[in-house]
Structure 1
Amino acid sequence: METYDFVFAGAGCAGLSLVNYLLNSSLKNSKILLIDPLGIQIPNKTWCYWNEKPLAIHPLSSIHFWESLTLKSGPYSLPKAIGALKYFHLNSHDFFNNILATIKDISTITIIQDEVLKLTPSETEVEVITKGGKTIKTSRVFDSRPLDSSLDSSLKQIFVGWRIKTSKSEFDPSQVVLMDFTSESKNFEFFYLLPFSETEALIEYTLYSREIQSEGSLRSKLEAYLNQKFGPMNYEITFRESGVIPMTTQLKPKKIHPRIIPIGTAGGWTKASTGYTFQNIQKNCQKLVPYLESGATTEFQIPRSARFDFYDNILLNIAHRWPNKLQSLFLNLFETSSAEQVLKFLSEETSFTEELKILSKLNFGIFIKSLLRYESH
């Protein structure tokens, strides 16, 4: 029977991030096993975050950022500088390749292509059984496996994106188009544009919906947007991505056992009202490592103010009941406060006083409606 100090059920962003921080701690010599059905196959993903400087885990060779953003609705445009913050972009291939290059020659770290079927914890260890027939003993399991089907009816952020190169100048590389609302839809949908140069950009179509959409319908929306905004143009698609992010405050990890620690989206590390996850993964991994270093056997918990769950649920309630109101809500939010303050609020880095200042400036009729019919999502 194989024995490891730590076993990872999943080798995605959260798993590799935690390995990175373990390697920079007193636990750097731990025997580690990462188990993933895809092995080390790298997914096509784009991660963004805002911060004053790039995170330490961000590969220095692939840093790209913007210092301003804009929101659009038809002919209306709302450009905003983001103060001391920068909006950073990171491609999953750069991230994975950087960490895999670090660990490839470390004999105490193993990655296998297999699937975790069963976890059986005891007071001192966890028994891991895999689809490939392995039985493994470990002191801790970090579980980032996809969530179960109980969340199928929850609201989802569904998106498809293309990175394209054009034959002539089409884009303004100085600012991110955070949200471009092209129509008064009964659903909440928008386009997102990251311009890397005048001839290269990542463009995404995003929809909030309970139902999964066909990839064909999502592609059609993206093609129609490109034609509407830029007219007939020659472009080459160099990168494609798509995804579904659950938008719910119910992603708090189930209390299974202190030796089994859910991480990533499975650990509730996705911001419910926006879907941003990458920076939360980094923050929470850095809180998890000292807990592991201490040898604690109590349940690992990340304190989070209940008021942010409340804010998320107010917004998600609007998204569920009155999705056509979200466009004006987001525009109003960025119109009445600095973009820097709004971004700090969305990343839960504001004080209660700062939040009151932001919220007091809003057209709060829709918030009152949501509060009167408040429920958790």
Structure 2
Amino acid sequence: TWCFWEKDRQSPFDSIVHRQWNQVYFHGTNFSSALELGPYSYKWLRGIDFYTFIKTDLAKNPNITFVQERIERVKDTPNGGFIITEHNQYLGGYVFDSTYSLKLNLPDCHNLLQHFKGWEIETDVPIFDPNCPIMMDYRVEQRGLGVRFMYVLPESPTRAMVEYTIFSDKLLPTTEYDAELHAYIKDFLKISDFRIEHEEFGVIPMTDEPTPSLDGEHVFRIGTGGGYVKASTGYAFQRTQRFTRELVKNLVTIGKPLPPKRSLKKRFKDLLDSTLLNVLLKSRASGKEVFTALYQKNPTPRLFAFLDEDTTLMDDLKIMSTVPLGAFTAGLFDALRKKI
């Protein structure tokens, strides 16, 4: 499952968007509200629909071959990118490698995991409001380091995806995810009788570990290992579209699929990501407090643009003025110290 927002433009995946909304609920510290999204739409895309769509589209091209083998090594050579699998060897002019694993233990980096478990549930009586999902619900118990929240994606009055999400340094026992989901469905959604139709589980690294996109002249890292995940939120779907469009544009225009340049603006955005990670890891302020302040004190369209890294310096300063000042000042200087 992917959830993302888009602004006033047609997406290449609009035909397979499962649901979309123009407002979302937010529940935080002494603040609950339905938030209007302005020019944005909040969209839900199911993984199975995305994979089917992409595979069907690629199958129309006779120059594309699908090969499924276990990759043992990817390396750069003078003649191109070289892939060694359990059965074969392949040489390409360029190799786009999404298999690179981040270390996630470098002492001068901030490392969290975003992990989540979701149940798609069905009820016999109408419970859900299909016109407005719950984007973040921080009323759940916050236990220890990091952030915990629920979100609810309604398909119909009787069916919804209920997801438990945690930002922390360690995964939980399976039984804890299940217990928290049960408690939320019972205590907050007021549902006592339901059926679990589908389950999902995932882990996304939230890290400011350096992620060089180039691994030689002919090997380009993409995806998580290429730095496509936004460190402070774990969002990657829209960033992946932007980054890969840039690769293709450069391949067509200059003959080489160079990644986007790391501009001064991008460096500043990365510093803000590191600052938030520092605040959460050092428990300078609770994640519940931080995200409540962001959603309560900022227009949602401005906040979405900020999270998309599509804001001006003035917009960034306005948004940062709404978070706990002491915690973020300390986090900023500590993050800078680690990078120097």
Corresponding residue of 1:170: 127
Q: Does the Cα contact within 8 Å between 1:67 and 1:86 map onto a contact in 2?
A: yes
Q: Does the Cα contact within 8 Å between 2:306 and 2:316 map onto a contact in 1?
A: yes
The alpha carbon displacement at 1:65 in A equals 0.8
Partner secondary structure for residue 94 of structure 2? strand
Partner secondary structure for residue 168 of structure 1? coil
Q: Distance in 2 between matches of 1:60 and 1:251?
A: 36
Partner secondary structure for residue 177 of structure 2? helix
Q: Distance in 1 between matches of 2:10 and 2:235?
A: 15
Q: Does the Cα contact within 8 Å between 1:251 and 1:266 map onto a contact in 2?
A: no
Change in Cα spacing, 1:207 to 1:361, as seen in structure 2 (3 Å) is closer
Q: Does the Cα contact within 8 Å between 2:164 and 2:181 map onto a contact in 1?
A: yes
Given the alignment, which residue of 160, 165, 173 partners 1:214? 173
Q: Does the Cα contact within 8 Å between 2:114 and 2:206 map onto a contact in 1?
A: yes
Deviations 1:285-333 (A, max 9, x none): 1111022224545854443511101110110001101176211111111
Change in Cα spacing, 1:300 to 1:54, as seen in structure 2 (3 Å) is closer
Partner secondary structure for residue 186 of structure 1? coil
Q: Does the Cα contact within 8 Å between 2:75 and 2:219 map onto a contact in 1?
A: no
Deviations 1:64-112 (A, max 9, x none): 2111122213774132111111101100111111121122243211112
Are residues 1:140 and 2:94 paired?
A: yes
Matches within 5 A, 1:1-377: 46-53=1-8, 55-73=10-28, 76-131=31-86, 133-148=87-102, 150-151=103-104, 154-181=111-138, 182-187=140-145, 188-253=147-212, 255-294=214-253, 296-297=255-256, 300-304=259-263, 305-322=266-283, 325-374=286-335
Could you tell me which amino acid in structure 2 is paired with residue 83 of structure 1? G
Corresponding residue of 1:34: none
What is the TM-score with the length of structure 1 in the denominator? 0.81
Change in Cα spacing, 1:201 to 1:323, as seen in structure 2 (3 Å) is farther
Sequence identity (%): 28
Q: Distance in 1 between matches of 2:44 and 2:112?
A: 25
Paired residues, number: 330
Partner secondary structure for residue 171 of structure 2? coil
Q: Distance in 1 between matches of 2:162 and 2:126?
A: 15
Q: Does the Cα contact within 8 Å between 1:119 and 1:126 map onto a contact in 2?
A: yes
What is the TM-score with the length of structure 2 in the denominator? 0.89
Q: Does the Cα contact within 8 Å between 1:119 and 1:128 map onto a contact in 2?
A: yes
Could you tell me which amino acid in structure 2 is paired with residue 292 of structure 1? L
Could you tell me which amino acid in structure 2 is paired with residue 177 of structure 1? I
The alpha carbon displacement at 1:366 in A equals 1.6
Change in Cα spacing, 1:83 to 1:98, as seen in structure 2 (3 Å) is same
Q: Does the Cα contact within 8 Å between 1:258 and 1:299 map onto a contact in 2?
A: no
Runs of 4+ aligned residues of structure 1 deviating over 4 Å after TM superposition are none
Q: Distance in 1 between matches of 2:257 and 2:306?
A: 31
Q: Does the Cα contact within 8 Å between 1:162 and 1:239 map onto a contact in 2?
A: yes
Q: Does the Cα contact within 8 Å between 1:59 and 1:95 map onto a contact in 2?
A: no
RMSD: 2.2
The alpha carbon displacement at 1:363 in A equals 3.6
Q: Distance in 1 between matches of 2:271 and 2:157?
A: 41
- Structure 1's unaligned 5+ residue stretches are 1-45
Partner secondary structure for residue 112 of structure 1? coil
Deviations 1:33-63 (A, max 9, x none): xxxxxxxxxxxxx111111246532151434
